[in-house]
A and B are shown apart, each in its own frame.
Chain A
Amino acid sequence: MPSYKFNYFDLRGKGETCRLCFIAAGVSFKDHRIDYAAWPGNYKAETPFGQLPYLEIDGKKFAQSGAIASYISREYGLYGTSSLEALSIDGVVGLAADYFTMWAKSHFEADAGKKTELQLKLKDTDLPSFLANLEKILTANGSGYYVGNQLTLADLSVYDILENSYRDYPSVYSSYPKVLANRKKIAALPRIAEYLSKRNVTEI
């Protein structure tokens, strides 16, 4: 087993899906959390491209959260059982990434008026649209998981990316029972449940 050190802020942000992959797979890793107030400090120069997160594997550094999550998922059985399942997993992950972009745009908008507009669009259009597609995928797959019949990166990615929206707009989810059921299912998996019960609550 290589030694893993995951470096990110003490946030969920772009890092949490990677953390969930380690945890779901039961793979031990050093969960190094950098204080946002201390950034950049000396930390930035230590990163591969001036950004967080990055993963150290036996001391060698690798950047890009999506690549890291895929790598760990592939190494430890969270990527399905065939190339076509991997294609479907990547499809769900891509869809979730598209929604994350919309959420980030609304969250980080500096102009107050524009921000309100974007948040309304998120709640009334982007989120329902995303959830409707997820519900469609779950209905077609039929196992309660997004792809195949066991936990994959697809479930972890969707779970993580919907955290903020689930907290902020819970009523929207009532029309998407399968999405809710999958959410409960993932949160109840033993290693994940234990992690979630001890995790710091952060705004994003």
Chain B
Amino acid sequence: MPNYRLHYFDVRGRGEIIRLLFNAAGQKFEDVRYTKETWPLFKPSTPLGQLPCLEVDGTLYPQSGAIYSYLAREFGLYGKNNMEIFKVDIVMNIINDLMPFIVSVFVEEKDEEKKKTLLEKLLNDDAPKYLAQLEHVALQNGGAYFVGNSLTLADLAVFDLTDNLLQFKPDILSTFPLIVNNRKVVETSPALASYLKTRK
């Protein structure tokens, strides 16, 4: 078993799916969190000057999407064959399509008024559009999970996405019953239940 360290900021952001993967798989890892003060000291050591990075036996790898796929592959949370991997990737790509809208509200826009407008658009237009696509994927799969009949990266990623959206609009999933049900399945899964109760 390789020695794993996650290097990220002290937030959920793009790091939480990685933490969920380790916990879902019951795998040990060191959860290194950088602050505004400590990040500039570590930055030069990273491949691309960005976080998250996954350290595998001393070597640093960048790019959150790549890290999600790698860990899912290593821990058997990526589906059972190439076709299932494809379906997990489709879910990840749908979420990626929504990401620029989220980044634009929470990271890029500095003007408070513009930010409010963008947030409303995100919650009322952009997010529902992609949530509808995800609901459709769940419907096509015909069960409690997004892909196959057991937990995969796809379920964890949708769970993390909807965690964030629900904070700002608690009823955002009111027309997406399959996503709501899938969230319950993730929340009550034995591997994750205790992490979810105690996490930051």
Contact = CB atoms under 8 A, between A and B. Distances in A.
Is A bound to B?
yes
Interface of A: 49, 62-68, 70-71, 74-75, 83-84, 86-91, 93-95, 97, 101, 133, 136-137
Interface string B54-71: 101000011111110110
Task: Give the one of A64, A71, A89 with max B CB within 10 A.
Answer: A64
Interface stretch (B87-95, B115-123, B168-176): B87-95
B136 interface: yes
Interface in B86-128: 86, 89-90, 92-94, 96, 100
Nearest to B104: A105
A94 B90 contact: no
A74 B89 CA distance: 12
B93 A90 contact: no
A64 B61 contact: no
Contact of A74 (B56, B66, B85): B85
B82 A87 contact: no
Given A89-B66, A94-B65, 5 more contacts: A71-B89, A75-B82, A88-B61, A91-B62, A93-B65
B48 A95 contact: yes
B19 interface: no
B66 A93 contact: yes
B93 A64 contact: yes
B194 interface: no
B74 interface: yes
13 contacts: A63-B93, A64-B90, A67-B89, A83-B74, A87-B54, A87-B61, A87-B66, A88-B61, A89-B66, A91-B47, A94-B63, A95-B48, A136-B47
B73 interface: yes
B interface majority secondary structure? helix
Contacts of B189: none
Contacts of B69: 86-87, 90
A65 B96 CA distance: 11
Given A74-B82, A86-B73, A91 B89 contact: no
B70 A87 contact: yes
A158 B100 CA distance: 21
Nearest to B53: A91
B45 to A, nearest CB: 13
A90 B70 contact: yes
Q: Which 8 pairs show the lowest CB-CB distances between chains A and B?
A: A90-B66, A67-B89, A94-B63, A64-B93, A87-B70, A91-B63, A71-B86, A91-B66
A176 to B, nearest CB: 15
B133 interface: yes
Contacts of A84: 56, 70
A25 to B, nearest CB: 14
Given A49-B136, A84-B56, A67 B93 contact: yes
Nearest to B88: A67
Contacts of B136: 49
Contacts of A66: 89, 92-93, 96
Task: Give the one of B66, B67, B85 with max A CB within 10 A.
Answer: B66
A36 B93 CA distance: 23
A12 to B, nearest CB: 18
Nearest to B100: A101
Contact of B86 (A70, A86, A91): A70
A90 B153 CA distance: 15
Task: Give the one of A74, A94, A101 with max B CB within 10 A.
Answer: A94
